[in-house]
Amino acid sequence: MAQQGWQPGQPLELKPTIITAGRRNTYWGGEGGGYVGSGDGWGLQEGPRRGEGDRSRFRQFDFPSTTADFIGEQKYNQSLIDAEYSARFATLTTDTERELAEKQQAAKASQALTETASAILDQKIAFEIIDAKKSKYASTAPLIYGLYDQSPFYLMENLTYTKLRETLASSDPIKNLRDAYTLYDNVWRAAQELKALSLSIDILTKKLSGLAKARQTLEANLAEQDPGWENLHNEYLKAIADELEIQVQLLPEYLQVELASLAGSVVGLTPDQTLMRYKNTLDKMIEKTMAAIKPIDPPLAINRNGLMIYYPAANPQVTPPLSKPELEGLKQLIYLQQNTALGVRWLSHHDFVLKSESARFLANASNAISDLAERAQQVATAQARIEAVRVANTYRLSGTAAATQAIVMTSVGTIATAEGVTVTLRAAIGAAVAALTELAASTASGLMVGVSALIYSPKLANGELPERYALGTPISTLVPGLDESTISSAVNGTIDLPVRMSSRTAADGRSEVFVVNTDGASVPSRVKVVTATYDPGQKVYTVTTSDIPPRTLIWTPISAPGDSSTTLPPAPPETPVYAGADTIPVEGRVDSFPAVVEAGFDDFIIVFPVDSGLPPIYVMFRDRREDPGIVTGNGQSITGSWLGAASQGEGVPIPSQIAAKLRGQEFKNFKAFREAFWKTVASDSELASQLNRQNLRRILNGKAPYTSELEHAGKSSKFELHHKIFISQGGEIFDIDNIHIVTPKLHKRIHGKGN
């Protein structure tokens, strides 16, 4: 098989590699001579000993020797080659492993690599060495068939004798004999080299699984939502495809062909499904092969002039375990014994070894491919999780509706306005903005919010993970009269808005969408501006955020770029309506909300191409801190003044004794966690003793203590919980090890104004 150039998405098809396709199956029956005798038996057939037959046929060859001398010379030369390779085989495992280690070390010698980069390089070098040996194997394999297109394993004596007879009967036997000896040596040396290569490839292949798993362990900390994770998946699958190719090529050719035939087409199957298809096929082949193994029948004894000659049950030249080329040679030998006049001595033993060794090769392949299937399944599971996250963070809506309305959307559809409500959501948002504008001069206006909508879902009420929603409305809803050119000039940057929107969870479980005045401090005013792009293939406008996980918004256009009409494309797909929630617009409600300084803002403005027919749209996402979660993390051991360093660096970690009390608890939202956190601090005598009486009363009620005035930031005056890995970057909300206590001033400095 050959998987070079395999790309993710392609089927892992088996293509057996036949090194010497087209060679003849047998040289017997007139091709190149052949020999059949009728004497006392020697080798596999019955007949006189070689070199002891009728000498008259060689009378034309005037050379001071006998046929037996020529055969003896060849055997001596062969023994020298055997001795050379015997020494090599004795240390082959050690030498191969040393070769791998030395080349891996040499590749890294001049580089300062991380542990992960080193593991990647180790895997790469192993593949390169195997590829080099496979190439050498492919170029060496044809050389062993230099004698009548037959493998010399277990047939070298027969092939040698047949070639010798042909040579001595030729027109120039002296010259041809020299060439014949060279051919003998080349064929046998190539055969031994092929055996060494097959064994060394097998040794190296056994290292691949460990190298792959070592790399994956080091790369396990890469977030699945990271953009690089998809490339990593593809690299893992490419390695699996390469290993599959190698594992199959370790099988003798006849097993490769059978496996490909029995497995059938794998087009349309995923990599893990394909690998399991191959494994199951291999297991069936093993079962069939094992069932076909028969007891060994020893060769019949021969009566030679009254003397009985007995033979051992096993051919002493066929001793398991066999290498791949040896097993292929044995398969050929059995074919010749069954279909030609070669002779049937030890055929029963040969068949026993062939089947038992075939089963061993198949079992090795099955075990290895089972491991590959497990690794492919891990990739498939991760890809399914990533796809689920992608789908859950993709929002679709109609451009026509988005141009004129405020729309609440989820990944499974837009949320409809509750029946019987007369005010529109856009009007409710506009009313909230107007009400806050009237309060702008009030000293308390920064703590007031205009509630513009209630979003209720049974999932929110019963504590299950709710659908995240987003709200989109033309920017003119929030800032009437804002010049679109001002927004367009801020693309890929930020723009200051006088109001922003976010969400909070009400006591009854409903999610409230609110509008709040910005002041650049307690409530940052800077909002990111991004641009939508047109996808001509899908005929939609899209925006994908840089968050982790990224979120994608998709609009069907009012008109395609370059189209001056104001009509939608023919039969645009309808945006589904999510029936699991209702939107209830609220008009004219203004609440006091001191906790607004702790609110999260996840919003941006989207600018569309001029010819899209769509105005700039403001989009806000439901605050992830409204979601429920389970506390994890260990915190850190704290000595001395705990909050004393909250104004420095990344602030101070959560004490380990507090983490121990909270770990494993589930909270309906981050606000509930925050209250429980401060109450838990109040219950710790050592930590509570570090606070004054006023702050102690606050934490007893689940409220954050005040900082010194020097650490205030606008109206923000209390210690805050800061996520080291920002929530927008996929930071875990309830992971105590991701939370530090900071002062408002430090918090503002960490995030930067407007972030």
- Do 119 and 142 belong together in one domain? yes
Q: Supply the mean pLDDT for the chain.
A: 84
Within a domain: residue 241? yes
Within a domain: residue 572? yes
pLDDT band at 595 (very low <50, low <70, confident <90, very high): low
- Do 591 and 698 belong together in one domain? no
Question: How confident is the model over 243-266, as a mean pLDDT?
Answer: 96
Within a domain: residue 178? yes
The pLDDT value given to residue 441: 60
Q: How far apart are CA 285 and CA 280, in angstroms?
A: 9
Q: How far apart are CA 374 and CA 685, in angstroms?
A: 51
Number of domains, the chain: 3
Structure token pair of residue 236: 């893992």
- Do 362 and 223 belong together in one domain? yes
Within a domain: residue 501? yes
Using the 3D structure, point to which of 594, 624, 654 is the last residue of a domain. Answer: 624
pLDDT band at 225 (very low <50, low <70, confident <90, very high): low
CB 327 within 8 A of CB 354: yes
Q: Of residues 107 and 54, which shows the higher confidence score?
A: 107
Q: How far apart are CA 595 and CA 45, in angstroms?
A: 99
Q: Examine residue 549 and say whether the peptide bond preceding it is cis (omega within 30 degrees of 0).
A: yes
Using the 3D structure, point to which of 569, 601, 624 is the last residue of a domain. Answer: 624
> Which domain CATH number covers 679?
3.90.540.10
Map tokens 């939370």 to a residue: 739
Using the 3D structure, point to which of 389, 409, 429 is the last residue of a domain. Answer: 389
pLDDT in tens, 416-445: 888 777 788 898 888 888 888 877 666 555
Per-residue pLDDT at 40 exceeds 70? no
Helix runs in 292-346, H state only: 324-339
- Do 231 and 130 belong together in one domain? yes
The pLDDT value given to residue 410: 85
Q: How many other CB atoms are there within 10 angstroms of residue 406's CB atom?
A: 26
- Do 451 and 517 belong together in one domain? yes
Per-residue pLDDT at 21 exceeds 70? no
Within a domain: residue 14? no
- Do 324 and 225 belong together in one domain? yes
The pLDDT value given to residue 47: 40
pLDDT band at 570 (very low <50, low <70, confident <90, very high): very low
Structure token pair of residue 593: 């909300």
Question: How confident is the model over 254-268, as a mean pLDDT?
Answer: 95
Q: How far apart are CA 241 and CA 619, in angstroms?
A: 43
Q: Of residues 732 and 444, which shows the higher confidence score?
A: 732
Within a domain: residue 467? yes
The pLDDT value given to residue 460: 47
Q: How far apart are CA 85 and CA 197, in angstroms?
A: 12
Long-range contacts of 721-728 (CB under 8 A, 24+ apart): 721/674, 721/677, 722/650, 722/651, 722/746, 722/747, 722/750, 724/650, 726/751, 727/600, 727/602, 727/624, 727/625, 728/547, 728/548, 728/602
- Paired residues of 706 in beta bridges: 718
Question: How confident is the model over 641-648, as a mean pLDDT?
Answer: 88
Q: How far apart are CA 515 and CA 501, in angstroms?
A: 5
User: Which of these, 241, 242, 140, lies nearest to 197 by C-alpha position?
Assistant: 140
- Paired residues of 618 in beta bridges: 473, 605
Cα four-point dihedral sign 187, 191, 196, 198: positive
- Do 668 and 604 belong together in one domain? no
User: Which of these, 164, 162, 189, 190, lies nearest to 177 by C-alpha position?
Assistant: 164
Cα–chain center distance at 179? 55
- Do 382 and 397 belong together in one domain? no
Question: How confident is the model over 61-73, as a mean pLDDT?
Answer: 67
Within a domain: residue 43? no
- Do 420 and 367 belong together in one domain? no
User: Which of these, 584, 406, 616, 597, lies nearest to 495 by C-alpha position?
Assistant: 616
The pLDDT value given to residue 111: 86
pLDDT in tens, 356-369: 999 999 999 999 99
Q: Of residues 624 and 165, which shows the higher confidence score?
A: 165
The pTM for the full model equals 0.74
Question: How confident is the model over 613-620, as a mean pLDDT?
Answer: 92
- Do 613 and 664 belong together in one domain? no
CB 678 within 8 A of CB 654: no
- Do 544 and 675 belong together in one domain? no
Within a domain: residue 599? yes
Using alpha carbons only, how large is the chain's radius of gyration in Å? 40
- Do 339 and 385 belong together in one domain? yes
Range of the domain at 448: 393-624
